[in-house]
Amino acid sequence: MNRLGIEMPKSEAAYSVEEAEKIAVELGYPVVIRPAYTMPPQY
């Protein structure tokens, strides 16, 4: 996408809720917070 000149959203990795809150302030709102990994449901 960079090579094609397509703009991408800014991103950062956070390892705690507190860290995510600080990053959100730095990046500016609105933000999307998502887990990097989720456990599959156990049946």
- What's the confidence (pLDDT) of residue 37? 76
CB 6, CB 23: distance < 8 Å: no
- Rounded distance between C-alpha atoms, residue 14 and residue 36, angstroms: 10
Q: Is residue 40 part of a domain?
A: no
pLDDT at 28: 92
What is the number of structural domains in the chain? 1
Query: Does 43 fall in a domain?
Result: no
Is residue 18 situated within a structural domain? yes
pTM above 0.85, yes or no: no
Domain span at residue 23? 1-34
41 in a structural domain: no
Please report, in tens digits, the pLDDT of each residue of the chain (43 residues total): 889 999 988 889 999 999 999 999 999 999 988 887 777 777 7
Dihedral over alpha carbons 16, 37, 30, 9 (to 10 degrees)? 110
